[in-house]
Amino acid sequence: MAFEGLTGRLQGVFDKLRGKGKLTEEDVSEALREVRLALLEADVNFKVVKDFIAKVKERAVGQDVMKSFTPGMVVIDIVNKELTDLMGGTHTKLAKANKPPTVIMMVGLQGAGKTTTSGKLAKMLQKQNHKPLLVAGDIYRPAAIKQLQVLGEQLKVPVFSMGDQVSPVEIAKNGLQFAKDNNNDYVIVDTAGRLHIDETLMDELKNVREAVGPHETLLVVDAMTGQDAVNVAESFHKQLELTGVVLTKLDGDTRGGAALSVKAVTGCPIKFAAMGEKMDALEPFYPERMASRILG
Ligand code: GDP
């Protein structure tokens, strides 16, 4: 699980704080210095860490920590609250169209987990008694269409495909029409990724977006790639006005910094977290729960 290193480090800092009866200003400063280092080691963006520590300090001064009976606990509580805020504060729900179907466009680099996440999302919606349709719009990655079809069969979710010789724009448009004709209330459009961001990719994604007018444009990013994930999110957001981020591979041995930086850097809420390859390994992202998990 991601964050193990960070959790261990923070627990060490907090144990020290709790262990002391009275705290001096110096104790608190020392603790915050260690929190700062722990966050940097977890690959959290440098500027994000700086702002974070400044905010914690500000709150600590505001709450007059030293006058409290349990200053250590107050500091921990402040860190918890700031961590929650850093990740977006509250859970941001998936948008829902006033008039179905709700169109969700999945974007991201190749290998980030777009196709897998599309399947997971379909499963989640199906469990909530919706009738999702998966649209196979990744015509470039070999076997991406087949992969989606296999997932669809496994989940008993229909998959709309036109093969790989038709443009993604046509596929998306026709997929949307198919959903309307078949009463699917959610359409999940899997799109092509590339190994790196390039103009051709972005132009194509913009065209797909224009053609189907998605209610959600979700960027799927691999949390294992750390700061790169944050840079990718920034670029995609600039070009495509994302409505949310899905962080994948949080089950891996990552340092987790991407999860902590991505909202602060892009302003885009994290809507889901994926923690495994299986189809049920997708969770709505709750900043407060994630903060508690990180603090251990
Ligand atoms: P795409 O190119 O973005 O469509 O990526 P895929 O959906 O094909 O995923 C790439 C690889 O990452 C596959 O082997 C997936 O099984 C794996 N994967 C996707 N999400 C997760 C996750 O949350 N955890 C782990 N461990 N692997 C994942």
* Residue 249 in contact with ligand 1 by CB distance below 6 A: yes
The two three-digit tokens of residue 221, written as one number: 């990013």
Q: Mean pLDDT over residues 233-247, rounded?
A: 96
Residue in 217, 258, 263, 205 with CA at minimum distance from that of residue 241: 217
What's the pLDDT band for 226 if we cut at 50, 70, 90?
A: confident
The pLDDT score that the predictor gives to residue 82 is 96
Count how many Cα atoms sit within 13 Å of the Cα of residue 135 in the half-sphere of its side chain.
31
The dihedral region occupied by 246, where left means phi > 0, alpha psi between -120 and 50, and beta the remainder, is: beta
pLDDT digits (tens, 9 = 90+) for 91-119: 999 999 999 999 999 999 999 999 999 99
| pLDDT of 1 above 80 | no
State the pLDDT confidence band at 132, using cuts at 50, 70 and 90. Answer: very high
112 lines ligand 1 (CB under 6 A): yes
Strand (E) or helix (H) holding 156: none
Instruction: Between 281 and 69, name the one with better pLDDT.
Output: 281
The predicted structure's pLDDT at residue 157: 98
Mean pLDDT of 154-176: 97
Q: What pLDDT sits at residue 61?
A: 83
**Which residue's CA is the closest to the ligand 1 atom numbered 12?**
113
Q: How far apart are CA 232 and CA 36, in angstroms?
A: 24
pLDDT at position 66, please? Answer: 80
In this prediction, the answer to ipTM > 0.95 reads yes
120 Cα nearest atom in ligand 1 = 20
Of the listed ranges 79-88, 168-177, 212-221, 246-255, the one predicted with least confidence: 246-255
Give 183's pLDDT tier (boundaries 50, 70, 90).
Answer: very high
Q: Say what the pLDDT of residue 122 is.
A: 98
Q: Could you tell me the pTM of the whole model?
A: 0.94
Centre of ligand 1 to C-alpha 141, Å, is 13
> Beta-carbon neighbour count of residue 83 at 10 Å?
22
pLDDT of res. 230: 93
Burial class (CB in 10 A: 0-12, 13-18, 19+), 266: buried
> What's the mean pLDDT in 37-61?
93
Which residue has the least CA distance to atom 20 on ligand 1?
A: 113
Query: Is the confidence at residue 38, as pLDDT, over 80?
Result: yes
Is the C-beta atom of 116 inside 6 A of ligand 1? yes
Structure confidence by residue, pLDDT tens digits, 139-163:
998 899 999 999 999 999 999 999 9
| Res 259: pLDDT | 84
**Cβ–Cβ under 8 Å, residues 114 and 136:** no
For the segment 54-98, what is each residue's pLDDT rounded down to a tens digit? Answer: 999 999 888 888 888 888 889 999 999 999 999 999 999 999 999
Percent of the chain scoring above 70 in pLDDT: 100
The answer to whether residues 262 and 268 touch, using CB atoms and an 8 Å cutoff, is yes
Cα(123)–Cα(120) distance, rounded to whole angstroms? Answer: 5
State in Å, rounded, how far the first CA of the chain is from the last one.
12
Separation of 278 CA from ligand 1 center, angstroms?
A: 10
Over range 125-142, report the average pLDDT: 95
The pLDDT of residue 251 is: 92
Q: What is the mean pLDDT of the chain?
A: 93
Query: How many A from CA of 109 to the centre of ligand 1?
Result: 11
